[in-house]
Structure 1
Amino acid sequence: MTSSEPDLDALMRAGQAGDAEAHRALLQHVSTRLRSYFRNKLRRSGAGLDEVEDLVQDTLLVLHTKRHTYDGSAPVLAWTYGIARYKFIDHLRLNARSLRNVHIDDVDDLADEDRYAAVDTSRELHRALAKLPRHFRLPIEYVKIEGLSIAEAAARIGMTDAAVKIGIHRGMKKLAAALSETRP
């Protein structure tokens, strides 16, 4: 981090505490980085650059609406780029023509995502979740669906933070396996 760059983690914490100016500064700084990220990704995929601003705004919207779920366990930029990566993959899925021209470095990202492809219907997901044991189902529901932090989910369930993390990890594997069995 150079001296001219703000401390994004501090801006996020201040924004979570209600400092609107810090939150605005965070979004403004991150948007510059996201524009560069998406320009590069779109150029490498062979797609036009006309979607850059839409992808930036979609990512910023998630950052804004889900900032309460950020727990500080990773740097803000890592969290942001994780969200951006999913937004980009969603964009490629919606625009299948782009998949013909995906750069070789991006193939692994897409292949990883295909293993956990989006569920066709909410009903299918809820049926698979309902079959999981409580110690897997509740951590996934609270953290991944409701957006609670690990600590909040642990307190609500009566488990340790580590048990919640393990429950999510193992539960997601079981959920992915169950969903892949139901798909043709």
Structure 2
Amino acid sequence: MRASEEELRRLMIGGLDGNAVDHAALLRLLAPLLRAFCRRRCGEDDVEDLVQETLIAVHTRRGTYDRDRPFTAWLFSIARYKMIDHFRRTRRYRPIEGLEEILIAEGFEESSIARMDVEDLLETLPPKQARMIRATRIEGMSMAEAANADGISESDAKVSVHRGLKTLMTKIQGGRR
């Protein structure tokens, strides 16, 4: 389950106020978000290390979070810097998808909020369509990997993605008129 910006922010503030249950719940919810963020940018080999480094940084630097700002902007800033530090340490130079967009601070907050809007849109779809779109378009899995993970045929996965995207496009275009 993906949490909304409001839920993540509420848990972070609860943790800052001394609620250990909220802080633990926040860290559990962040792991899949960070895995998807890292997987899209650096490949499978480094994902778990980067997720753990980022979770540690979120924990140790939680006092720097400004309660009046969106939580995900703060979170993904930490993740971005941890990724850059990791590549510097390991001296591995490979293109990071969208790095130039990530490094530009202007608009970062809006893009973080937009990711949450995508999750809200996916919640309106039938569960299988939402799972297949998340797996293939957000988490970066191939159609075969997504189908296998969900226990369905590849053609069923393709149809689910196609129908889901078509439904989302209709909803988005309908909202603009």
1:102 partnered with 2:92: no
Verify: 1:82 aligned to 2:94, yes or no: no
Query: In structure 2, what is the equivalent of residue 62 of structure 1?
Result: 57
1:10-48 Cα shifts (integer Å, max 9, x gaps): 1111111111110011111111100111111113xxxxx
Seen in structure 2, the aligned counterparts of structure 1 residues 39 and 70 have a Cα distance that, compared at 3 Å, is: same
Residue 22 of structure 1 is matched in structure 2 by 22
Give the direction of change, closer, same or farther, for the CA distance of 1:21–1:57 in structure 2 (3 Å limit): same
C-alpha distance in structure 1 between counterparts of 2:86 and 2:103, whole Å? 12
Q: Any idea what SS the aligned residue of 1:72 has? A: coil
- Number of aligned positions between the proteins: 103
Larger radius of gyration, structure 1 or 2? 1
1:35 and 1:56 in contact (8 A); partners too: yes
- Unaligned 5+ segments in structure 2 are 106-177
Equivalent in the alignment of 1:40? 40
1:76 Cα deviation (Å)? 1.2
Partner Cα distance (1:75, 1:81) in 2: 11
**How far apart are 1:111 and its partner, in Å?**
9.9
Asked if the contact 1:16–1:67 (Cα under 8 Å) also holds between the matched residues in 2, the reply is yes
The answer to whether the 8 Å contact 1:89/1:110 transfers is no
Closer, same or farther: CA 93–29 of 1 in aligned 2, 3 Å: same
| Aligned 8 A contact 2:41 2:97 in 1 | no
Q: For residue 13 of structure 1, what is the aligned residue in structure 2?
A: 13
Separation (CA, whole Å) in 1 of partners of 2:32 and 2:97 = 25
Structure 1 residue 50: Cα displacement: 2.2
Aligned pairs (5 A) from 1:35-184: 35-43=35-43, 49-97=44-92, 99=93, 101-103=94-96, 105-107=98-100
Contact 2:54/2:78 (8 A) holds in 1: yes
Unpaired stretches in structure 1, ≥5 consecutive residues: 44-48, 113-184
Residue 51 of structure 1 aligns with an amino acid whose one-letter code is D
Q: Letter of the 1:54 partner, please give it.
A: D
Higher RCO structure (Cα 8 Å, ≥6 apart): 2
